[in-house]
Amino acid sequence: KTYSIAVIPGDGIGPEVTDGALTVLAAAQRTFGFSLDFTDYDAGAQHYLRTGNLWSADLAQQLRTHDAILFGAMGDPAVEPGILERGFILAMRQAFEQAVNLRPVKLYPGVETPIAGLTPERCDLVIVRENTEGAYVGQGSTIHANTPNAVAIQESVNTRQGITRVVEYAFKLAASRRKKLTLCHKKNILIEAGKLWQEVVDQVGSRYPQVQLDYVHVDAMCFHLPVSPERFDVVVTDNLFGDIITDLGAVIQGGLGVAASANLNLDGSAPSMFEAIHGSAPDIAGKGWANPVGAILSAAMLLAHLGEEQAALAIEAAAVGVLQKLPALAGPDMLMSTEQIADAVAELVTTN
């Protein structure tokens, strides 16, 4: 079986960590008997500065021909904040209806977490973030701008249809795991949006009697997540709260270096996109210091999405194997480079 993968390395450390993920994917295809056909796409800050191009109908059409998209990172100090985020990443999430942003929060053995006493057994949850609407619609207006009476109104738009597809996905996931679903919102304040979210969760939930339902305010989530992650199995939340609590999740699991994510199109109408949670980190670009594990685990999620579960599990296991060795290898002169880490994971994938 052959899968066609679009690769968008992007900026900063994006290309380095993407290279690492490609090394591992290449090893997996040999071992697990499928083949991957990679097509590179030039996009991001450098591309934008050179050509003025961000997301476009033309690019969308080309990307649509692929089975999945592997994404590095975007961002550069030379480009105004927000341009690439809205002009490319959000544009893709919306154009390709990548309705779910799936972010596992898993503390792997051997990874150092800043949370005192936290153990891997206590930290294995998944955050299901709505990925196309809410505050991310970017709707709003400012009246009396440039006067002392300026009023900026920012809207969050939440549709039953948009919420439902995400909530259904979350219930299915919870049913396949520890059977616990937590809605994270701020329904005591954001009453309109909160009511619709809770309504959908209750409705869909009636079809999943085996899944235990819980509700936690987003502020309380920030309180509980670091100290009692074992309380959570699947957390479903809106776009903005998801953005916020998944960064907190990344802290808990030991940093952005290992955090992976999937932007999932659920109806097969367009490709899904897989990216490490970290950004382009221009300050360390080109030094070979970037941790490729987030990108590698995102590549594993890509394979799982394509149905290559075994290969995905093997990559995750191999990454865990290498992560366990990392602390012992740490220190100014003994750090493994981005490439060495990727090679070590690839090696484990083929030999395990």
Q: Which residues bind a copy of itself (CB under 8 A)?
A: 81-82, 85-86, 90, 113-117, 135-136, 138, 140-142, 147-161, 186-193, 195-196, 218-220, 222-223, 226-227, 240, 243-248, 250-251, 256
Nearest C-alpha neighbor of 262 from the set 98, 111, 136: 98
> What is the phi/psi pair of residue 41, to 5°?
-125, 135
Annotation says 186 is catalytic: yes
C-beta of residue 338 within 8 angstroms of C-beta of residue 288? yes
**Segment holding 173, helix H or strand E:** helix 160-175
C-beta of residue 343 within 8 angstroms of C-beta of residue 23? yes
- 168 touches ligand IPM (CB under 6 A): no
- 192 touches ligand IPM (CB under 6 A): no
Comparison of 244 and 266: residue with beta carbon closer to ligand IPM: 244
Query: How buried is residue 52: exposed, middle or buried, by Cβ count under 10 Å (0-12/13-18/19+)?
Result: exposed
Annotation says 42 is catalytic: no
Stretch that binds ligand IPM, among 45-53, 83-91, 104-112, 116-124 (CB under 6 A): 83-91
Q: Could you tell me how many residues of this chain bind ligand IPM (CB under 6 A)?
A: 6
Residue with smallest beta-carbon separation from ligand IPM: 85
Stretch that binds ligand IPM, among 17-25, 58-66, 84-92, 286-294 (CB under 6 A): 84-92
Comparison of 78 and 313: residue with beta carbon closer to ligand IPM: 78
CA distance 225 to 232: 8
Q: What would the 3-class secondary structure string for 218-284 be?
A: HHHHHHHHHHCHHHCCEEEECHHHHHHHHHHHHHHCCCHHHCEEEEECCCCCCCEEEEECCCCCHHH
CA distance 233 to 242: 15
Nearest C-alpha neighbor of 291 from the set 238, 242, 241, 340: 340
The residue behind tokens 């109806």 is 267
Annotation says 287 is catalytic: no
CA distance 250 to 205: 28
Comparison of 189 and 191: residue with beta carbon closer to ligand IPM: 189
330 binding partner (options a copy of itself, ligand IPM, none; Cβ < 5 to 8 Å by kind): none
Closest distance of CB 27 from a copy of itself, Å:
31
Stretch that binds ligand IPM, among 26-34, 85-93, 331-339, 341-349 (CB under 6 A): 85-93
140 binding partner (options ligand IPM, a copy of itself, none; Cβ < 5 to 8 Å by kind): a copy of itself
Query: How buried is residue 237: exposed, middle or buried, by Cβ count under 10 Å (0-12/13-18/19+)?
Result: buried
Comparison of 175 and 222: residue with beta carbon closer to ligand IPM: 222
- The active-site residue, picked from 42, 219, 283, 287, is 219
- The active-site residue, picked from 37, 202, 214, 247, is 247
Q: What would the 3-class secondary structure string for 84-100 be?
A: HHHHHHHHHHHHCCCCE
Closest distance of CB 277 from a copy of itself, Å:
10
Annotation says 219 is catalytic: yes
Closest distance of CB 86 from ligand IPM, Å:
7
Annotation says 208 is catalytic: no
CA distance 221 to 206: 24
- 243 touches ligand IPM (CB under 6 A): yes
248 binding partner (options a copy of itself, ligand IPM, none; Cβ < 5 to 8 Å by kind): a copy of itself
Closest distance of CB 322 from a copy of itself, Å:
23
Comparison of 219 and 309: residue with beta carbon closer to ligand IPM: 219
Site of interaction with ligand IPM (CB under 6 A): 85, 89-90, 189, 219, 243
